[in-house]
Structure 1
Amino acid sequence: MEKARSRKIFRKVRQGNSDFALISESAEKIIPLPSSSLPEAHTQSSPSPEYLIFEADDISDYSDNNLSTQSNLSDSDSEQSNTESSASDLRGWALKHNITFSALGDLLEILNRHPNFDLPKDPRTLLCTPRSTTIEKVEPGEYVHFEWISSVEKLIQVPTADYIKIQINIDGIPLYKSSTRQFWPILAKIVEYNQVGVIGIYSGFGKPTNINNFLRQFVNEFNTIEQSSNLKLKISAIVCDVPARSFILGTKCHNAYSSCGKCDIKGEYLDNRVTFPPGNYNLRNNENFRSKLDTAHHNQASIIELLPIDLVEDVPVDFMHLVCLGVTRKLLFLWVKGKKCPGRLRPYQVDQLSTNLLKIKTSIPKEFSRKPRSIRDLEH
């Protein structure tokens, strides 16, 4: 592991050296000559540093002290300007390519050996890492809100449309197997640029008890963004899995009788579970949802209702959990491990299916984040 890590750092440093070869060359060209190599100057009646007239006959008339002072000032100003420019370029390069702190620290050490560079020794100083973070109490944990608006403004130099569409994602992430501590991040994806930024992160032993306290800063900031910024953002969708969707909307969870977020169907208890019989039902819409006509569907009022979105159409159901990890997963278990199932596959059929899946693994496009695996790995 150490050898692999060392090779990775070496590659990063080598890439950094090649990327900054041009910076080094340009820095050498614009470094001013020492004062001893400059010709002495002679000024006319109203001497000005910008209009020095050099004449061979009157060299002795110009003060050597003035020339030395002006040269030193220009040297220090030029060196300071070069250092700031190099630091800015290096900071942008490191953020663009996601350079690790260890690799960036090694690169800074190498560059500081060069006489033309006077860069910070610590990567955190170069990247302007904040020294403190405002942490707020959100029961039963803590919440940190980030300056995500400024990040979006830097990313979008020239807007390509009247509104910048963003998608919001909110979900829980378990951190450890041996602890109940979890993260609940609020993420924003800029659709046109395919970039994801962090709005805020909650951390605690369990999810937030009050959804309004959790989302208050985000909702208030979004509703006042047009007054405090030149950006015009529009939420195209709030993407969550089914439990998180019911949590942020303040509605019944997916296993309740009146839990459907798209129509007013009433569930029936059958074979130790809540089922939803087929039929024709009234569809929900934004007006009926906000007025809470179906009181059995709502648990509480949510602050998410203050956002200018359609609470039915703009909060879709999650395809991955409903289909891929829902119906499809149950069918696979039924075909491979189902008891008394007439359609259960034979062991040689499972092996043949696994072989075919592995054969097409190399032909799957890069847009698919997960490649096919053997059916034997179904439980994992």
Structure 2
Amino acid sequence: MRAVDIQNKSGMQYIHLSFSEEIEKVLKRYPCEVTSRIHSLEISLNVDGLPLFKSSSLSMWPVLCSIHLEPVIVFPVTLTLGSQRPLDLTFLEDAVTEIKQLLESGLTFDGRIIEVKLSCIVCDAPAKAMVKNTKSFSAYYGCDRCEQKGFWEGRMTYQEVDGFEVRTDHSFRAQTQPEHHKGRTPLTELPIDMAGQIPIDYMHQACLGVMKKLLTIWTRGEKGRSRQTMISIGQVDVVSARLIDLQQCIPSCFARKPRSLRHLERWKATELRQFLVYTGKLVLSGSLGSPLVLQQLPCLMCESSICLIELKRDVFKYCLYERITIMYLL
């Protein structure tokens, strides 16, 4: 047991752990033959809220770090506790100061200096807006990737695909579009690309977003379009039966087995990702016959291609794969 210094920052109870000491502790958990070959170390950061109890508003907002070695180990750098989200970004300052020093001077480990590189800062959309001190993703100027003004159509949409200004690291730091910003963020002290190294939240936008939206439209229809975008109840049952049949074929590296579309509202992000990248192309064969359903098919293909390219970076191979998949589904 050790004593820790508990402070009050950002309206929360706050504990900061020495960044370099925590990395050293983690590196010692790897075999010597692995750490002896390390000359450069990549790390990633994560900031997110964590509710502790269903019956209470008490929550934690930790700053987590992961080291890009196999297996990946995640450890806390800063811990905050309170009944609300942080009131400001002062809880990030100590972590940012230490990370900046590590990036500049490197990490002393086992009698040698290891270069440290910050790969990315990963947050979901609400947390990302908070730590970047920008408007929410649902605001008119909330887009992380461009400077166009959003259009309200039941929800905020960014419809322009040509002729808009792309948001860059320089434009973010200079705050050339003040409508996007709420103030300054400590993260600008780090030598990172504020537009490119804080990526879009894949889990919420791709899996729980686009994939779930498409499945909901196909199985329950789309508002204002009657049944034109739906597949039949019989086809839903066929797809569900195929998913259940695949349960015995799913290896243990997958966290969950496929479930029926009848339980779609309770599907987790891992199930939606599995459907998107792996099982969906098998079970949908012969079921997407409506013209409007086929119009939505490119969304699924595009999203799947991005996921696969991120996994293997073999663009030509997976573009060919998607072309064959479209022919198979039709």
The TM-score normalised by the length of structure 1 is: 0.61
> Which residue is equivalent to 2:45?
168
Counterpart of 2:240?
Answer: 354
Show structure 1 runs of 5+ residues with no match.
1-128
Which structure has the larger Rg over C-alpha atoms?
A: 1
Work out the CA distance in 1 between the residues paired with 2:40 and 2:239. 47
Q: Quote the residue 1:326 is aligned against.
A: 209
Q: Distance in 2 between matches of 1:175 and 1:155?
A: 25
The corresponding residue for 1:185 is 62
Counterpart residue number, 1:316: 199
In the TM superposition, what is the alpha-carbon distance from 1:354 to its structure 2 partner?
1.7
Q: Point out where structure 2 has 5 or more consecutive residues left out of the alignment.
A: 267-330
Q: Which range moved further: 359-368 or 305-314?
A: 359-368
- 1:116 counterpart residue number: none
Please state if 1:152 is matched with 2:34: no
Matched residue SS, 1:216: helix
Partner SS for 1:333: helix
TM-score for the superposition, normalised by structure 2: 0.69
2:22/2:77 contact within 8 Å kept: no
Q: Is the 8 A contact 2:167 2:195 kept in 1?
A: yes
SS at match of 1:232: strand
Which residue pairs with 2:161 in the alignment? 279
After superposition, residues 108-257 of structure 1 pair within 5 angstroms as 129-130=1-2, 132-156=3-27, 158=35, 160-193=37-70, 194-211=72-89, 213-225=90-102, 226=105, 229=108, 230-257=113-140
Q: Measure how far apart 1:359 and its partner are.
A: 2.1
Runs of 4+ in 1 over 6 A off after TM superposition: none
Distance 1:152 1:139, change over 3 A: closer
CA contact (8 A) 1:257 1:267 kept: yes
The 5 Å alignment of 1:33-44 reads none
Contact 1:170 1:184 in 2 (8 A): yes
The structural deviation recorded for 1:258 is: 1.0
- RMSD across aligned positions (CA): 2.1
- Secondary structure of residue in 2 paired with 1:360: helix
State the AA in 1 paired with 2:156. V
Cα separation, 2, equivalents of 1:151 and 1:250: 27
1:365 CA displacement: 4.3
Q: 1:275 to 1:150 in 2, by over 3 A?
A: same
How many angstroms apart in 1 are the aligned matches of 2:39 and 2:139?
41
Q: Quick one: which amino acid aligns to residue 126 of structure 2? A: P
Give SS of 2:62's match. Answer: strand
Q: Is the 8 A contact 1:148 1:197 kept in 2?
A: no
The letter for the 2-side match of 1:337 is: R
Structure with more relative contact order (C-alpha pairs < 8 Å, separation 6 or more): 2
CA pair 256-196 structure 1, distance change in 2 beyond 3 A: same
Change in Cα spacing, 1:365 to 1:201, as seen in structure 2 (3 Å) is farther
Residues 209-244 of structure 1 show CA distances to partners (whole Å, capped at 9, x for unaligned) of 102x11011011112333784443211011111111
